[in-house]
Structures are given as C-alpha cells and as structure tokens.
C-alpha cells in the first residue's frame, strides 16, 4: 500500500493478503527487506491487499515496487498461508489504530489468508521505502534474530527452502549479482542460499555445463590474489533455462 494513502475497504478484497519476501545479496550475505512498525515495534514483511481489479501477480508487483522502487522483477508465488490462528493475535492492529488516517480500522481485524511471493532484486538499486504503519524499511541479514509480526518468520523460512529447491531447477543470480561477476562470487551466492560449502572445481564445471554464462576477457582488479575472470549471464540462454529447467542437485 502507498505510504500515505489510507486503506479503503471497498477497494480491496476481504480476507486475502499478500506477503512478499524480498531477497538481496550484499557483502556475501543474503538479506531480506523488512518494515519496522512504528508502534508495536515488530518487524514485518512488505505486504498488502488484493484489489478487486487486479491479479495476485499484479498486486505482488505493485507491493514490491512501492517498497523498492523497482519493477520488472523476478517474482514467484511459493505458498498460501491459511492457518486459522495466524491472525488471532495481530500486533499490527495497534499500528492501524495509531496511524491517524481515516482508513477502515475494522478491515484489519479479520482472518486473512496470505499468499506468499518471493522476489530477487539488485541490492544496489533498491530504495527502501516504509509504508504508512512503519518508521523505517531495512535490509536485515537472515542471520539476525528479530521479533517479527504474526507468522512472518515462518514465511521467510519457507521462502528460503523454496529458493533452495529452485537452485536444482532453475538458474539464480541474474537479479542478485551485478552484471559482471566472478565465479567465486557466484559460488558464494549459491553457498549462502544453501547454507553450506561447495567444492570449487565441481561448482565451476557444473555452472559452465549449464551454458548460461559468458566468460569475458576482463579480469576483476584490486584483489590481493590473482585476478579472476569476469562472467556475465547470457540473457537468451538464461531465459531458456528458466523456462525449460536445469538438471542436477546441489
């Protein structure tokens, strides 16, 4: 939802919400974009509601763009969260009550079934933007333990496990790495997502066999060791791999 616009309950469908797990990769860490609520002091996933005239995918794109300033993202629906108890103790009601606008407060005090989407974004291009109920919007490391609203911690955990499965089915890295990157940087991204180390030679052989990388003539400069070659994703073959899938398990 827009940072300043009140919620008009006649514009949005009842009982359906969307929670977006927005991943970025920075300093060899996978991070997630979180909102910090003004009054309840909980961290929350960027989320919102489904308008009557839009699809779930359009709503998720809108929500992510409002928080990041980006569009044309890799965005994937990964699970529906429908536990009848998930909305029973909603601390965000305090923030809705204290927001000081003319939105319909009763709209929030209902059971919501939430559709989870995850997005992969370029960390450097994001302009984190808080919403009406939050005082700031931050990148938070997955290794940081923070108090979170409702079942949002479980939603993040499910998004991570889905992302790990994707590594064996589709390529990853296009939205998370800079346009030019080294093989060690790509390997570190995979290791961070998987949560374990990978053999360097096996990783390189597997990635090259996928035939989605272009080896550049340039080398990365400024390091203490021998400068590694830079790579970029071949956009045509990367897109084909997204559509046709990959083979192999990490």
d(CA 112, CA 122): 30
d(CA 225, CA 143): 29
10-residue mean pLDDT series, the chain (250 residues): 54 92 94 93 94 96 96 92 81 58 65 94 94 92 92 96 91 92 96 94 95 93 76 95 81
Q: What is the DSSP string of 117-153?
A: EEEE--GGG------TTEEEEEEEETT----BSTTHH
pLDDT of residue 1: 45
d(CA 47, CA 18): 5
pLDDT of residue 168: 84
d(CA 213, CA 233): 5
pLDDT of residue 100: 55
Q: What is the DSSP string of 165-196?
A: HHTTTS---TTTS-SSEEHHHHHHHHHHHHTS
Backbone angles phi, psi at 241, to 5 degrees: -65, -35
Which of helix, strand or coil describes residue 249? coil
Cβ(143)–Cβ(17) under 8 Å?
no
**The two three-digit tokens of residue 142, written as one number:** 């997955």
d(CA 243, CA 26): 27
pLDDT of residue 206: 94
Domains of the chain (ranges plus CATH)? 12-166 (3.90.79.10), 181-244 (1.10.10.10)
Residues 79-107 as b or e (16 or more Cβ within 10 Å = b): bebeeeebbeebebebbbeebeeebeeeb
pLDDT of residue 39: 83
**The two three-digit tokens of residue 146, written as one number:** 């923070």
């Amino acid at each position: 939802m827009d940072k300043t616009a009140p919620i008009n309950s006649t514009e949005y469908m009842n009982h359906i919400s969307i929670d977006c797990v927005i991943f970025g990769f920075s300093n060899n860490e996978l991070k997630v974009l979180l909102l910090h609520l003004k009054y309840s002091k909980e961290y929350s996933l960027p989320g919102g509601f489904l308008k009557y005239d839009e699809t779930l995918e359009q709503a998720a794109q809108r929500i992510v763009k409002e928080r990041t300033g980006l569009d044309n993202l890799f965005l994937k629906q990964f699970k529906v969260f429908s536990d009848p108890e998930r909305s029973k103790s909603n601390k965000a009601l305090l923030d809705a009550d204290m927001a000081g606008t003319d939105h319909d407060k009763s709209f929030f005090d209902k059971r919501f079934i939430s559709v989870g989407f995850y997005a992969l974004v370029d960390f450097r291009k994001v302009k984190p933007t808080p919403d009406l109920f939050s005082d700031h919007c931050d990148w938070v490391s997955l290794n940081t333990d923070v108090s979170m609203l409702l079942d949002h911690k479980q939603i993040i955990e499910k998004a991570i496990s889905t992302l790990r499965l994707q590594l064996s089915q589709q390529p990853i890295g296009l939205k998370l790495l800079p346009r030019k990157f080294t093989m060690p940087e790509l390997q570190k991204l995979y290791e961070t997502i998987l949560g374990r180390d990978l053999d360097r030679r096996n990783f390189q052989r597997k990635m090259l066999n996928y035939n989605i990388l272009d080896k550049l003539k340039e080398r990365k400069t400024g390091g203490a060791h021998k400068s590694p070659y830079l790579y970029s994703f071949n956009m045509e073959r990367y897109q084909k791999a997204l559509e046709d899938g990959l083979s192999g398990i990490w």
